Amino acid sequence: MAIKKHELSVEVNGRTVRAEVEPRMMLSDFLRHELGLTGTHVGCEHGVCGACNVMLNGRSARSCLTYAVQVDGAKIETVESLGTIDKLHPLQQAFWEKHGLQCGFCTPGMLISALELLEKNPKPTREEIVDHMSGNLCRCTGYQNIIDAVAYAAELMAEQANG
Amino acid sequence: MSVARPLPHDAAPLHVTGAARYVDDIPAPANALHLAFGLATIARGRIAGMDLDAVRAAPGVRDVLTAYDLPFDNDVSPSLHDEPLLSDGTIHYLGQPLFLVIADSHLAARRAARMGVISYEEETPLLTIEEALAADSRFEEGPRIYQSGDTDAAIKDAPHRIEGRMELGGQEHFYLEGQAALVLPQDNGDVVVHSSTQHPSEIQHKVADALGLPMHGVRVETRRMGGGFGGKESQGNALACACAVAAARTGRPCRMRYDRDDDMVITGKRHDFRIDYRAGFDDDGRLLGIEFTQYVRCGWAQDLSLPVADRAMLHADNAYHLPNARIVSHRMKTNTQSATAFRGFGGPQGMVGIERVMDHVAHTLGRDPFEVRRANFYADRATRSAPQRTPYGQTVEDGIINALTDDLATRADFAARRRAVDDWNAANPILKKGIALTPVKFGISFTLTHLNQAGALVHVYQDGSVQLNHGGTEMGQGLYQKVAQVAAARFGLPLGAVRITATDTGKVPNTSATAASSGSDLNGMAVKAACDTIRERMATCLAERHQAKPGEVIFEEGEVRIGGETLSFALAAKICYENRVSLSSTGFYKTPSLAWDRIKGEGRPFFYFAYGAAITEVVIDTLTGENRILRCDILHDVGSSLNPALDIGQIEGGYVQGAGWLTTEELVWDGKGRLTTHAPSTYKIPACSDRPRIFNVALYDNENAEETIYRSKAVGEPPLMLGISALMALSDAVAACGAGYPALDAPATPERILAAVQRVMGGT
């Protein structure tokens, strides 16, 4: 029996995408398999680790817990929207320079969470960074450099805003 | 020069842009098929009947395989040939793969895999160490025993004696990227395998056996893993073999990844232990005689359990000289996941045992645990008269633990903070603080001596760019970067001139697992050998043209200097090419000086030791058992660091992972052998709010006494054991609640802490 597909129109990284999807397809699978945006990673598949975080209408969301059909008409930004290797976003620059990654699997989700924080709070305290980033798991770094990277990104973004 | 610089991870720009590819990100042809295992739902018994009609009829399913459909070897074991890919009728644990679904999508395969109707002849499973002991269910014929001196007499004659028992839980690796494989069929029946594995050569070997091919018919490529921690040393075999069999059967590419819950239910974890101890000591707490009996829960298959259990025995001394010691190790076979390699490989469990004894001795004597530890340390190389022997007969040549811990104690103001903690505890009835300093001495080398070898392949192209390949795998530790730094240094090139390619069994054969912390020691030396061969050939060619000696040709700063002339490296490469000089070379390295008899427990299993120490300060709530790590100070020995930034990252991550193992990470099986903690919602790995509020990490200035690559030391595993200081600090805090000894088991969850507080207040 063929499963009825649903039409979907969504803005992903500034580009409007129209697609037909199975009703139970997760947003993470839609991004990874249908659009080839494999920067969004699937870690725990039940909304705890944060590796699959994307921006959904300006707020971070677990794409492994979100059905693709739920984002009809929405605006999605994935890690691929942040910057390119030639023109990195300050957050990307900061995670690179401050060694905010080892295996890198959690990194895209970390960047999205950090982006959400810095967009609403451009000058976070260390405690605010820790609090906000506690929803993203990393098994490699011990988090020290991740927190340093977010703090440094805030500085870089402030410089950009002033300069 | 490129070595010793704190350069970021080589793939960092790819990671931050989402462009770094893991196995499941590699594009496969559109006709690729997806696999999932159907799993046993009991822990022990026989399959009475397996009705897979509903599985076959499920949407998107192409084929379903059982053990009878496998064309060749039904085995994915790395050791004893005791681990069928699909059950041969016997059920050994709850979660064992029974059948394999081949479907059009990952989701279709997983859905169908739940539809099997299996009937069982159920037997009572052996789940615990005690149950296995009662049934004498074990690996090897009896316990292994390593000993030195006359332990019984030393304990009997000692002024003070203690006895105790400790239980130590296992640990889930929780690599963020789950197990994954992709197999692409080639012509002539060959296959290319992409695997998230620490051991490409083993994947090659097992896939070849599964397909009835010689190893030359299988090429395995691993660019990176999203974390390994030992969990990808042998546990990827099943996925790679399943994909290979399915690809051979269908002629189509096949890929498989475990969903997180499946991953945690199917794959092995750190071994949990019970350690019984008996010790005799003098008034200063100096151990005169000690006996450890280590009971190791190995799970259903042998996997790597024997060397893991051996390493636990080899670290029962940690940094302490034990003149009279007997270490007994029972390797119990149970109906649980087959416990496997995990960062430290048994070493952490052995070390926790002796740290517990130090803590218990100090409590018995009413002394500061650090004083007792110091009274037992191996003497330092700089101050000793003669080297001391470990219980297994290796002399400790490179000792530094006294100087290192004194340095740390000074830097972290340990004595004053010890007093401050005692003052706090005197003044506060509810919140109690604890502080502890624990050392680490970790043996570096595979204890299976033949594994201590590595190969490399280096090409210099005629434009002067360098391509590098070696047998080590990248799992985030920065091995590729360190090895590239070595290659760049040998040629005097900037790092950008060197490109490291994915680990590939077609380029470097017969590799060892990237394990035992040995990645940069072994592969760095192999790469150095390959680079030096090419450099010598180039120098000979260029020297001849300039009537100079090869030794007078200097490679530095991207240039080659001969006499008065300076060439770019690129031009030098072009000249050598035009003079028909081979610009490609393999390199090989084997660790010298090793000789180890694991049955007798005698010899030199380790090339050298890596040292470190940590001070952790904690606070507990005595009404709830809740706790926090307030501060951690670490001083760690990486020899002459190849890359201080990467090394500090390993130390910070290792500490947090070790502290997680001993505090929040609790694996729970129910009475039927079902793992009830099979996802991060129920299994608690540290989040950034769990890491120490203050976290000071420094490298100890100490060139390796042995001739390793640029006199560096291995760093992968040793820092994990710095986390033991967190457990000992919690014990210290609990001890402040009363007169009894806390006897705190691990993981020290709030429940265990609360129970220990109540015990201590009861004074027992």
Cα(B708)–Cα(B390) distance, integer angstroms: 22
Q: Are B423 and B497 in a shared domain?
A: no
Cα(A61)–Cα(B194) distance, integer angstroms: 31
ipTM for the predicted complex: 0.98
**A106 contact residues in B (CB cutoff 8 A):** 176
Q: Are B576 and B703 in a shared domain?
A: no
Q: Do B652 and A99 touch (CB under 8 A)?
A: no
Alpha-carbon gap: B696 to the closest alpha carbon of chain A (Å): 10
Picking from B707, B481, B467, B677, the residue whose alpha carbon sits closest to that of residue B589 is B707
The verdict on residue B706 lying in a domain is yes
pTM: 0.98
Q: Are B99 and B38 in a shared domain?
A: yes
Residues ≥6 apart with Cβ < 8 Å to A72: A6, A7, A8, A9, A10
Q: Compare CB distances from B17 to A40, A83, A142 and report the shortest one's residue.
A: A83
Helix/strand/coil for B122: strand
Angle between helical axes of B479-491 and B519-545 (0-180°, round to 10):
20
The mean per-residue pLDDT over the stretch B725-751 comes to 98
The partner residues of B119 in beta bridges, in order of sequence, read B49
Helix/strand/coil for B399: coil
**B687 contact residues in A (CB cutoff 8 A):** 134-137, 143
**A112 contact residues in B (CB cutoff 8 A):** none
Look over chain A and give the mean of its residue pLDDT values, rounded to a whole number.
Answer: 96
Cα(B506)–Cα(B233) distance, integer angstroms: 19
Q: Which of A3, A103, A127, A133 to mutate to test the interface with B (most CBs of B within 10 A)?
A: A103
Q: Do A48 and B657 touch (CB under 8 A)?
A: no
The verdict on residue B719 lying in a domain is yes
Beta strands B287-299; A59-62: pairing state: unpaired
> Token match 């204890």: residue?
B447
Please write the tens of the pLDDT for every residue from A14-60: 999 999 999 999 999 999 999 999 999 999 999 999 999 999 999 99
**A53 contact residues in B (CB cutoff 8 A):** none
The verdict on residue B325 lying in a domain is no
Task: Examine the fold and report which residue of B251, B266, B281 is the final residue of a domain before the chain moves on.
Answer: B266
- At the fourth CATH level, the homologous superfamily of domain A6-81 is Beta-grasp domain (3.10.20.30)
Q: Do A139 and B27 touch (CB under 8 A)?
A: no
Q: Do B17 and A39 touch (CB under 8 A)?
A: yes
Q: Are B113 and B82 in a shared domain?
A: yes
The domain ranges of chain A are: 6-81, 90-161
- Token pair of B752 as six digits: 């265990």
**B14 contact residues in A (CB cutoff 8 A):** 85, 104
Give how many domains chain B has, as a whole number. 3
Task: Examine the fold and report which residue of B203, B237, B266 is the final residue of a domain before the chain moves on.
Answer: B266
Q: Minimal Cα distance from B176: which residue of A?
A: A43
Please write the tens of the pLDDT for every residue from B686-731: 999 999 999 999 999 999 999 999 999 999 999 999 999 999 999 9
Q: Compare CB distances from B16 to A38, A45, A95 and report the shortest one's residue.
A: A95
Under CATH, which number does the domain A90-161 receive? Answer: 1.10.150.120
* The pLDDT of residue B248 is above 60: yes
Q: Are B469 and B572 in a shared domain?
A: yes
The verdict on residue B518 lying in a domain is yes
Q: Are B571 and B515 in a shared domain?
A: yes
Helix/strand/coil for B738: coil
Q: Are B542 and B623 in a shared domain?
A: no
CATH number of the domain where residue B248 is located: 3.90.1170.50
Active site residue B717: yes
Please write the tens of the pLDDT for every residue from B86-107: 999 999 999 999 999 999 999 9
Going by pLDDT thresholds of 50, 70 and 90, the confidence category of residue B762 is: confident
Q: Compare CB distances from B176 to A83, A97, A139 and report the shortest one's residue.
A: A139
pLDDT: which is higher, B563 or A42: A42
Q: Minimal Cα distance from A111: which residue of B?
A: B16
Give the domain range for residue B654.
345-356+367-446+607-761
The verdict on residue B131 lying in a domain is no
pLDDT of residue A129: 98
The verdict on residue B754 lying in a domain is yes
Q: Are B689 and B586 in a shared domain?
A: no
Going by pLDDT thresholds of 50, 70 and 90, the confidence category of residue B630 is: very high
Q: Compare CB distances from A80 to B18, B260, B657 and report the shortest one's residue.
A: B18
Q: Are B219 and B236 in a shared domain?
A: yes
Cα(B517)–Cα(B444) distance, integer angstroms: 7
The verdict on residue B335 lying in a domain is no
CB B477 within 8 A of CB B638: no
Q: Are B622 and B695 in a shared domain?
A: yes
Q: Do A104 and B681 touch (CB under 8 A)?
A: no
Q: Are B530 and B644 in a shared domain?
A: no
Task: Examine the fold and report which residue of B560, B590, B620 is the final residue of a domain before the chain moves on.
Answer: B590
Beta strands B595-597; B602-604: pairing state: antiparallel
CB A20 within 8 A of CB A5: yes
